[in-house]
Amino acid sequence: MATIVSISGVQYSGKWTLQSQAQAVAASTWPNPPIGTGYYLWTWGESGTNGTLGLGNQTSYSSPKQVGSLTTWYQITGGRNWMLTIKNDGSLWTWGNNSQGQLGLGNVTYYSSPKQVGALTNWLKVSAGYYSAAAIKSDGSLWTWGFNLSGECGLGNRTKYSSPKQVGSLTTWSSVAMAKIYACFAIKTDGTLWSWGRNADGQLGLGNRTYYSSPKQVGALTTWANIFPGGLHLLATKTDGTLWVCGKNADGQLGLGNRTSYSSPKQVGALTTWSNGGGGVYFSQVLKTDGTLWSWGYNGNGELGQNNTTYYSSPKQVGALTNWSKIGAFNNTTLAIKTDGTLWDWGYGGNGELGLNNRTTYSSPKQVGALTTWTQVSSSGGTFGAALKT
């Protein structure tokens, strides 16, 4: 019997393995690009002189505000006070802080409303770090731009770029994730894991603390599935559902029961039920396949959602619910969506980044409004929040 699989929100029927799906995207044998339904975009928090919220002004808001009236937003990611997005036609859009050329517009001008990056409509996946960006096109090629302080653009140098530059000539990149602080990680269609950029804490997983300005393979395994780096640490899952970590661990953010930093991947426990998550700067939030949410690491602002400010060096369940669906981690804030489409967040709220119409900090999940139509949250590096809804 044919199975139903989903790539980028579009369902297809057929007998496909995870690897063959990724290969099909890279080879452009699926619709070009395989983009699905678009959504409304909402933002909140601090805007300031950056125009971070994309609302055409420099006003900060402590509750969600709709960005225009379009229903074509498809994927969102946030850097340090700037945004990077893809629409469902495959076009790439950006706004906010542009001090390092991270908007990809060929300049260092700040914009308070969405601006298209070039004219191409074949962008498939995007990820934003503090001041740099990475994106994959529908042909499987990888592109980066921005600050490049530690070689995080993977271009063999530490030169700033204000427009997208291709990383090598390969067309076998499947997923990419910029760390919040000057490093980048990517998975190829063959399941191999690659990293480059800042490595002072061993976060690249290469067994050393050497900085690299071009991609380096992490080990020889071909079973990597998801990557979600934090500030100075990496979290990644394999196809068998195991969770692996490396990098800085001063606050217990690796979840290994200690505060020792590691420069090569270490498995978190023995469970095979980890799915995906979000890395904060000094903390971690990870979902399991049963819909439970787990957190650990720094908790000075209650960002772990444990109703306290206690640091944990091993995974702790957030409440007892089994209906958590999606997660995003900021500097000191967490955003999450449940399976019923409700939006929740917790942690530091001093800039209105929790969207709760105040500037209060919370150490346990609080619902944002009463809507049940939220579908995606951004993992931002700044003092604002963003989400998509139907």
Q: What CATH number is given to the structural domain containing 302?
A: 2.130.10.30
Contacts of 204 (CB under 8 A, 6+ apart): 183, 195, 196, 197, 212, 216, 218, 234, 246, 263
136 in any annotated domain: yes
Give, rounded to a whole angstrom, the gap between the first and last alpha carbons of the chain.
Answer: 32
pLDDT in tens, 224-266: 999 999 999 999 999 999 999 999 999 999 999 999 999 999 9
List, for residues 23-67, the tens digit of each pLDDT value.
Answer: 333 333 333 444 678 999 999 999 989 999 999 999 999 999 999
pLDDT value, residue 199: 98
159-173, 206-220, 303-317, 376-390: the lowest-pLDDT one: 376-390
Residue 14, Cβ neighbours under 10 Å: how many? 11
What's the pLDDT score for residue 161?
98
| Cis amide bond preceding 33, omega within 30 | yes
Per-residue pLDDT at 382: 82
Closest CA to 203 of 169, 173, 180: 180
Q: E strands, 272-323, where?
A: 274-279, 283-288, 293-297, 312-317
Question: What is the structure's pLDDT at 35?
Answer: 66
Strands 312-317, 333-338: parallel, antiparallel or unpaired by DSSP?
unpaired
For the chain, the domain total comes to 1
* Contact in structure between 60 and 354 (CB atoms under 8 Å): no
Domain around 321: 18-389
Long-range CB contacts for residues 186-189, cutoff 8 Å, separation at least 24 = 186/134, 186/142, 186/215, 186/227, 187/224, 187/225, 187/227, 189/19, 189/22, 189/23, 189/25, 189/26, 189/140
Q: Report how far residue 259's alpha carbon sits from residue 251's, in angstroms, rounded to the nearest whole number.
A: 6
CA-CA distance, 258 to 247, in Å (whole number)? 13
User: Of residues 131 and 22, which shows the higher confidence score?
Assistant: 131
281 pLDDT tier (thresholds 50, 70, 90): very high
**Tokens representing residue 55 in the block:** 């609302």
Asked whether residue 105 is domain-assigned, the answer is yes
- Which pLDDT score is estimated for 380? 76
Is 364 a member of any domain? yes
Mean pLDDT, rounded, for 165-181: 98
Residue 12 lies in a domain: no
Could you give the 3-state DSSP secondary structure of residue 152?
A: coil
**How confident is the model over 108-118, as pLDDT tens digits?**
999 999 999 99
The answer to the question of residue 115 being in a domain is yes
Would you say residue 183 lies in a domain?
yes
pLDDT at 239: 98
Single-letter amino acid, residue 242:
T
The per-residue pLDDT for 6 is 30
In a domain, 11, yes or no: no
Q: Is the pLDDT of residue 10 over 80?
A: no
What is the Cα–Cα distance from 146 to 130, expressed in whole angstroms?
Answer: 9
Average pLDDT for 161-173: 98
Q: Identify the three-state secondary structure at position 18.
A: helix
Which one has a higher pLDDT value, 357 or 19?
Answer: 357
Mean of pLDDT over the chain: 91
Rounded alpha-carbon distances, angstroms, from residue 303 to 128, 297, 328, 381: 21, 9, 11, 14
